[in-house]
Amino acid sequence: MIPFNRPPVFGTEIEAVAEAVARRQLDGDGRYTKECEAWLAARLNAPAALLTQSCTDALEMAALLLDLKPGDEVILPSYTFASTASAIALRGAVPVFADVEPGTMNIDAAAIEPLIGPATRAIFAVHYAGRVPDMDTINAIAARHGIAVVEDAAQSIGSTYKGEPAGTHSAISTISFHNSKNVSAGEGGALIVNDPAYVDRAFILREKGTNRRAFMEGQVDKYTWVDLGSSFLPSELVAAYLSVQLHHADTITADRAATWARYADRLAPLADEFGLRLPDPVGNQRTLNGHIFHVLLPDARHRETVMEGMKARGIGCSFHYVPLHSSPAGQRLGRAPMGCPVTDGTAPRLMRLPLYYGMPEDAVDRVAEALADTLRGLT
């Protein structure tokens, strides 16, 4: 069986966790939290990186930092995980769903400006499959209208855009270390603060709304509740595990990117033969971290049959999101005033192929051969 996903394990994670246990400080913000945050801040050249219990937590912190309020509107792609929209709706703001590009499944920058109105406060730009969207255009639109940009970079650690790391092209960005991500701690995430104006408040939000950090640094003689916040800080056990993964991040990225490229090469003939749509070529403005390789099948009616056929051949494949604008909560809490026809047409056809660190080259070849056999069986 070729599994859809297999989290990387390097063998020293348990030693780091044991070290954290031996230190008897398990409640976070200890040695390993600081080590991970220093690595992220240095790698992303950011004023601050704050570990969180999940990328969902980081998105909720971003919404708090922007002071989103009831009646505010935030533009985001419909094709994303529920957490992107939920962070907005939890503040009483309205998610406004935009359509995507069929070749990247990222937000279509051309679809953003028609959605901007008097209540628009921000754009949440999701990086689908580790590919950074057109941040230059998105930032230019935001600047014209005086609104904020948050990068939901959950999937894109290790990717770049115009020579700079993913997650560095907006004031605030978020990263995931979920079990399904390239760099994994089982659960976990990070808030990346690229604008120094947000740094102090970000630490307050993570400390349940208290000024504990100022107290620990001797700036106040006691700490107290000063703002909104929640328990966003992860355990030192999570940070210890993550610290090992981060040290291997470049190795993971190079390995997965090579697998992605091999898929692109092996599947190109199938695209011509069967009408598959492959992800757009990377081009010279971006590098990809190989997080996801997906195909768009020619007919949505065949996806379940194809996935069953791949499973019968020992290949684990998966679909992805149900578009948020058509989901029950999306219809109740958000709106899609321009519709999302591309999302509607592509989401039911999208199938993700196995891709994980250490995947052998012959496994990619086997997946390609199994997909060809399965598609021929449809005719």
Residue-wise pLDDT tens digits, 243-285: 999 999 999 999 999 999 999 999 999 999 999 999 999 999 9
Confidence at residue 193, expressed as pLDDT on a 0 to 100 scale:
98
The distance of Cα 93 from the centroid of its chain, to the nearest Å, equals 21
Confidence of residue 13 (pLDDT cuts 50, 70, 90): very high
CA–CA separation, 123 and 143 (whole Å): 11
Tell me the C-alpha to C-alpha distance, in Å, between residue 259 and each of 18, 228, 249, 252, 292.
33, 44, 15, 11, 10
Confidence of residue 61 (pLDDT cuts 50, 70, 90): very high
Cβ–Cβ < 8 Å for 133, 158: no
Residue range(s) of every CATH 3.40.640.10 domain in the chain: 13-99+107-248
Phi-psi region of 63 (alpha: psi -120 to 50; beta: other; left: phi over 0): alpha
Bridge partners of residue 323, in order along the sequence:
none
Confidence of residue 19 (pLDDT cuts 50, 70, 90): very high
Bridge partners of residue 95, in order along the sequence:
74
In a 3-state reduction of DSSP, which class is residue 154? coil
Confidence at residue 293, expressed as pLDDT on a 0 to 100 scale:
98
Q: Residue 143 class from Cβ within 10 Å (0-12 exposed, 13-18 middle, 19+ buried)?
A: exposed
Cβ–Cβ < 8 Å for 170, 46: no
The correct CATH number of 13-99+107-248 out of 3.30.2350.10, 3.40.640.10, 3.10.129.10, 2.40.30.10 is: 3.40.640.10
Q: Is 379 a residue whose pLDDT tops 80?
A: no
Radius of gyration of the chain (CA): 21
Backbone dihedral angles phi then psi of residue 256, each to the nearest 5 degrees: -70, -35
The tens digit of pLDDT for each residue in 36-54 reads 999 999 999 999 999 999 9
Residue range(s) of every CATH 3.90.1150.10 domain in the chain: 250-376
- The pTM for the full model equals 0.96
CATH superfamily of 250-376: Aspartate Aminotransferase, domain 1 (3.90.1150.10)
Confidence at residue 378, expressed as pLDDT on a 0 to 100 scale:
87
